[in-house]
Every structure is written in structure tokens, then in C-alpha cells.
Structure 1
Amino acid sequence: MMTDTVKTEQSIFRLPKPDRVLLLVLAMFAGLAVYDAAQAGTSLKFVGDAVLGVFPFLMLSVMIAAFAKASSLDRMIAKAFTGHLLIMIPSAAIVGAFSPFCSCGVIPLVAALLAMRVPLSAVMAFWLASPIMDPTMFVMTTGTLGFEFAVYKSVAAVGMGMLGGFSVAGLQRLGAFSDPLRQNVSGGCGSPDVSGTQPIVWAFWQDAGRRTAFRGATLSNAFFLGKWLLFAFTLESLMVAYMPEGLVMSALGGEGAAPIFLATLIGVPAYLNGYAALPLVSGLIGEGMEPAAGMAFLLAGGVTSIPASIAVFALARLPVFLAYLALALAGTLIFSFAFQLVK
């Protein structure tokens, strides 16, 4: 009896295990405060503004995933993603290219789809296309680089999604990517059997158990995404502050094939965000850079930007993450050289 009492008291007063990602973010700011106090304040404001900007999309994604869990809607969603891959993959790419979700805000939905056994090939098509284009980005791209450039970038987004989706489908036939999600990552949904008979309960809030499931899924998803977004935006703020001025400008100038390859490689670490990259690319093209190199920078950077890459790395197992990067770079080269030919 005494032993049981001791165990109970220990469980009550046991401190939660500190999260390593949050500790790393705190350590980064602590080091920055010592090294460059002014930049610490600037980075803090940058991270705050970035989180506020993505917050509506992030919470919408989190709430949708939690609703799917609480209402058993995940079964219907999973069934909607069944069918022939020849239809699923192009559809997923088109939806991804024109959805309003950013590359980070869509992660809970991606996690939920993978946890519901939706084919990775269709999810990859959606995942690759989503960061490249959205309605707001299309308008901004048209205003800075022209309607033709914006239309081709949209086509490239869909094309890269389809390339990734069908490539993954082929690799899966060879036995790859049997378990894409990292351990203990569920995106707020379990792995439902879509053949089950449990009904969908739209008014889930009337059931105490479903309310608990909704609350738990919302909190776990928000914490999971929030900590990785804080880390990603902190790194991004340091890139903005300390990347040598004119580095991208000097590297991407010129014509021919070389700038396209360089833009693809440089776009991975140097891309800050889609809206900041547009005037940069516009200026480079105005100074004589090959437009296809600008396209390469936007395509590669959009998919492999720090927030997008960290979100994918946090969610998917290493082979899936590496495939994501490889397909993004391969698609960038293919569609950038195609753009050079049609210009």
C-alpha cells in the first residue's frame, strides 16, 4: 500500500520531459542575445510576425485534422482518396497548386492523410505542388514578373506534383516507403480501417469522448507544428540578418544553363520566402539574368525552403524526406529548362 502511495505521489510531481526543439530555440535566442543583442530583438519580432502570418492557415489545418478525428470523418476522407492513381495523383497536384495553405500550414492535413493510409504517391503530389503556388502568390507573381511567368509557374507546380506522385508510385511498387510517417506522428488522426462501419458524427461536441478526442488532437497538432515553426522561422531570421548582401545577386547573374543549375542549388539554402523572393528575381531578370534561372530559384526554393523542409523532416521518415528533396530538385531542373525552351 505504501509503495502504491509513493508511486502515486511520484506520478503527480513528475515534471514533464523538456522538449528538445523548444530548448534549442531558447538556446539560439540566448546565444544571440549574448552575441548580438539588437539582432535578438529583431529576430524575435521576425519570428512573431511570421507566426502571426501563418497562424490562420495553421489553425485551420489543425482544426480540420482534429475534426476528422473527433467525428470519424477520417473514414470518409480516406475513401475519397481511394481509386486509380492515374486520377488521384493529378487531382492531388492540382488541388495542392491552388490551395490557400502554405507549406507549413498544410502539414497537419498531410499527416492525417498519411495516417489514414492514403497512398503516399497522391500525398506527395499534393505536398510538392502546395508550396510553389497559391491564389495570393499567383497575383503577386503576375504583378512582379508578369502573367506568362505566373501561369508557367502554376503549370510547373502541377507538373512537379505529378512527377513526384508518379515517381513515388513507381518506387513503392519496388517496395520503398512502406511506412512513411515517423514514430509517434499521427497528425491528429489514427489509422482507420476505411472498411469499418462506424458512422460519421457531425455534431461530435454532443459526445464527451469525441470532445476529448477533438481537444487532444488540436493541442497535440498545434504543439507539434508550433515548435517546428518557431525553429524554422528562427533560422530564417538569422539567414536574413547574416547572409552576405549581394550573394544571391552575384551568383545568379548571367545567361545559359549554368545559372539554372546554380539557381536550383542556391535556392535551397538562400530562399527566404515566396513574397520576398519575387522582387529579388524581378531585379535579377531586369539586369539580364536568364528568366529560366529565376524560375529555377523560385521553384527549388519554394519547395525546399527552411520552414517547408523542417516541417517535412519532422513529419516523415528519412527516406521520404530525401525523396521529397530529390524530386523537388529534379522537377525544378526539368521545368526550368522547359521554360527556357518556350521563352
Structure 2
Amino acid sequence: MSVANPGVPGLQSALCRLWRDQPVWLASAAILLGLAMIDRTQAAESAVFAAGALLGTAPFLILSIALAAWAQATGADNLIARAFTGAPLLMIGLGALAGAVSPFCSCGVIPLIAALLTMGVPLSAVMAFWLASPIMDPSMFVLTAGVLDLEFAVAKTAAAIGLGLFGGIVVHLAMTAGAFADPLRAEVGNGGCGGARIRAPKPVIWRFWADADRRAKFGRTALNTTLFLARWLTLAFLLESLMLAWIPAETVTALLGGQGLLPIITATLAGVPAYLNGYAALPLVGGLIDQGMAPGAGLAFLVAGGVTSIPAAMAVWALARPPVFAAYLGLSLTGAFASGVLFQLWTSMT
């Protein structure tokens, strides 16, 4: 009678849990392992490149992590609730501004959107926040300035606010004509636990260090943000090293360089399937710009990818009815293209 080996299923189970919990780290390890098997020199160069890039961005990483932890510990993210009271056009403007500066992650925005809509907040104001939020936040601004430059960070912030305003106004005009009367799917609830921030915002405690629970929250947020940024940026810098090594600069220049509209159109459409996340995309775009990518195309890629990435699009599809989903995609791609064109014009004049 044969005896089953309990170690094999146990190992398989452990690997499955590891893949579920840390797929990004495993992807980075797989890249290095695969490189070591086919090209040891490139494996070493990629590892050194990623380590050097992480070290170079460390000051910006530390500041961005501190900002994210501070926002959570003080409760400053609760201030978002105040952006959605007032006249429709005022709400659109405040929604776009709040989305551009809010520290919410992409997974945290969806329940907030559901709560806002179920509370009766007009879709126009919610759409302004919805479109602007994935593009920029305080920590993203710091990292964008560090990985790319300050001008690009300011342009990305302006694009977030502009896209929010554009989307909110278009939806407002459509609503006056009778569109989007019932934006949420029937099975969507009231926003769940994430909606509590909107329904009953808690007071902001700026001196959070005086409260043990808030100090603990600062520590948890700092740790989680550090691990999140470390794993995604490590993968991004590894991919950037391979891109620089294997993709000829003339290819990038031919597809995404130049001053015309075609590179911006290409980058806008490429942002949908090729986007990783806002943090991982920064060094990749930086590498492409170094190889000849037009700055306007780079901004279009970041804006389009941030709003229409596959995870974000799936979340919107699960929450909103098809007409709202179609408007979300159409507005984001149109706004990303317009942002790229305007930024390209600006850079050509300076």
C-alpha cells in the first residue's frame, strides 16, 4: 500500500497562497530567475538597475508613504464628504478638485462612489470625482516629481482636475436632457463600510500621535504602503531595465515620438491594456521618454491607463449600468487624449 506524500500538497497549497497574496513579488522573482537561466549578465544588470532606481527614489518614497499614513491617521480623508454639498456646478468643481488631491486608493473609491450615488448625490459631481481620483493624489504627486519631474507632476494634476471638470460638465448636460436617471445596477447596495465615511464623516484629529489607535493606524498604513510601493516599483524598474535593453530607441521614437497627434492617440489607446498601476507606470514612462517618447504621449498614457486600467474598468462595470460605464470610458479616453495634446503644445512652446 502506497503512502501519500503530504509534503507535495502542502507545498502546492503554500505556493498558491503565496501567489494569491504576493503575485507581484513572485513576478519579479520569476523575471530574475528566467533571466538568470538565459542571460546571466542581463539578470545581474537588471537587479542592479532596480536596486539603484529604488535607492534613487527613496526620499520621494519616504515622503509619499508618510503622506498616505498621515491622511489615514488624522482622518483627513474624511474631508472628502464636504465636497459634495452645494449647487451642481460647484459640486462638480469641488468633486474634481477633491478627486485630484484625495488619498483614496482605487479599491477604496468604488464603495464611496456607491454610497454617494445611493445618497442622491448627482452623477455629474460623482463622475468628476470618479474620473479625477485614480490619476493623482498627494503621494503620487511626490513620486511623479521624483521619477519624472515637477513639470510632469503639475501637468498630471492639472489633467486630473481638467478631466474631472470635463466629465462632470458633460454628464450634467446629459442629465438635463434626461440621461443617466438610474446610474447604479439594481444589485448594488448602499456603499458598504466604505460609504460610512460619506454618511457619517468623523472629525479630523491633526495631532494623531496623542491617540494610541491613530498611532497604530499610522504604523499599519505606513507598513502597507511601503510593501505596496516596494513590490510594484521593483517590478516596474525590472521591466524598465528590460525595455531599455531590448526595445530599440528608434522603435519607440517611430511609434510614440514626434509632435503629431498619432503618438498621442497610440499612447492613449495603449494605456488601457498596458497599464500596471499609477506607481509602476511612472518609471516605465520615464524610460520611454528617455528613448524618444513624446511628453504629451506619456501624459496621455498615464491619464488613460489610470482611469481605464482593467481592474478599475471591471470595478466600474460591476457598479454602474452600461450607459454610465460607456460614458466613463468615453470621457476618460477623450480627456486623456486632450490632456496629451495640450501638454505637448505646452512643452513645444517652453
1:102 aligns with 2:79: no
- In structure 1, the residue matched to 2:52 is none
Q: What SS does the corresponding residue of 1:106 show, helix, strand or coil? A: helix
- In structure 2, the residue matched to 1:181 is 184
Structure 2 CA distance for partners of 1:81 and 1:43, relative to 1, 3 Å: closer
Aligned residues: 247
* Matched letter for residue 45 of structure 1: Q
Between the aligned partners of 2:141 and 2:280, the Cα distance in structure 1 is 14
Between the aligned partners of 1:157 and 1:114, the Cα distance in structure 2 is 21
The question of whether the paired residues in 1 share the 8 Å contact of 2:84 and 2:95 is answered with: no
Between the aligned partners of 1:123 and 1:159, the Cα distance in structure 2 is 15
- In structure 1, the residue matched to 2:59 is none
Work out which of the residue numbers 314, 330, 335 in structure 2 matches 1:331.
335
| Unmatched runs of 5 consecutive residues or more in structure 1 | 1-32, 50-56, 69-76, 192-199, 203-236
Kindly provide the CA deviation profile for residues 271-294 of structure 1, in whole angstroms up to 9, marking residues without a partner as x: 011111111111111112111110
Work out which of the residue numbers 8, 22, 38 in structure 2 matches 1:45.
22
1:312 aligns with 2:316: yes
Structure 2 CA distance for partners of 1:180 and 1:48, relative to 1, 3 Å: farther
- In structure 1, the residue matched to 2:257 is 254
Between the aligned partners of 2:311 and 2:322, the Cα distance in structure 1 is 17
Between the aligned partners of 1:151 and 1:80, the Cα distance in structure 2 is 22
Between the aligned partners of 1:326 and 1:339, the Cα distance in structure 2 is 20
**Deviation of residue 128 (structure 1)?**
0.2
- In structure 2, the residue matched to 1:142 is 145
Between the aligned partners of 1:152 and 1:85, the Cα distance in structure 2 is 26
Between the aligned partners of 2:141 and 2:303, the Cα distance in structure 1 is 13
Kindly provide the CA deviation profile for residues 68-116 of structure 1, in whole angstroms up to 9, marking residues without a partner as x: 9xxxxxxxx6x97343122110100000000000222111111000000
1:162 aligns with 2:165: yes
* Matched letter for residue 133 of structure 1: M
Structure 2 CA distance for partners of 1:177 and 1:45, relative to 1, 3 Å: same
Kindly provide the CA deviation profile for residues 201-254 of structure 1, in whole angstroms up to 9, marking residues without a partner as x: 99xxxxxxxxxxxxxxxxxxxxxxxxxxxxxxxxxx9xx99xx97689856542
- In structure 1, the residue matched to 2:57 is none
Superposed counterparts of 1:76-155, under 5 Å: 81-155=84-158
* Matched letter for residue 132 of structure 2: A
* Matched letter for residue 294 of structure 1: G
Between the aligned partners of 1:314 and 1:126, the Cα distance in structure 2 is 18
Between the aligned partners of 1:91 and 1:258, the Cα distance in structure 2 is 33
1:266 aligns with 2:243: no
Structure 2 CA distance for partners of 1:96 and 1:261, relative to 1, 3 Å: same
Work out which of the residue numbers 290, 297, 300 in structure 2 matches 1:296.
300
Q: What SS does the corresponding residue of 1:104 show, helix, strand or coil? A: helix
* Matched letter for residue 84 of structure 2: F
* Matched letter for residue 90 of structure 1: G
Q: What SS does the corresponding residue of 2:107 show, helix, strand or coil? A: coil
Superposed counterparts of 1:53-64, under 5 Å: none
Moved more, 249-258 or 178-187: 249-258
Kindly provide the CA deviation profile for residues 3-38 of structure 1, in whole angstroms up to 9, marking residues without a partner as x: xxxxxxxxxxxxxxxxxxxxxxxxxxxxxx9xxx98
Between the aligned partners of 2:144 and 2:157, the Cα distance in structure 1 is 10
The question of whether the paired residues in 2 share the 8 Å contact of 1:264 and 1:329 is answered with: yes
Moved more, 104-113 or 159-168: 104-113
**Percent identical:** 57
Between the aligned partners of 2:256 and 2:342, the Cα distance in structure 1 is 19
The question of whether the paired residues in 2 share the 8 Å contact of 1:96 and 1:126 is answered with: yes
Work out which of the residue numbers 264, 285, 299 in structure 2 matches 1:281.
285
Structure 2 CA distance for partners of 1:148 and 1:126, relative to 1, 3 Å: same
The question of whether the paired residues in 1 share the 8 Å contact of 2:256 and 2:264 is answered with: no
TM-score if structure 2 supplies the norm length?
0.61
Kindly provide the CA deviation profile for residues 277-318 of structure 1, in whole angstroms up to 9, marking residues without a partner as x: 111111111112111110111000000112211111111111
TM-score if structure 1 supplies the norm length?
0.62
Work out which of the residue numbers 335, 341, 345 in structure 2 matches 1:341.
345
The question of whether the paired residues in 1 share the 8 Å contact of 2:256 and 2:266 is answered with: no
The question of whether the paired residues in 1 share the 8 Å contact of 2:289 and 2:295 is answered with: yes
Q: What SS does the corresponding residue of 2:270 show, helix, strand or coil? A: helix
* Matched letter for residue 318 of structure 2: A
Structure 2 CA distance for partners of 1:80 and 1:90, relative to 1, 3 Å: closer
Between the aligned partners of 1:201 and 1:315, the Cα distance in structure 2 is 23
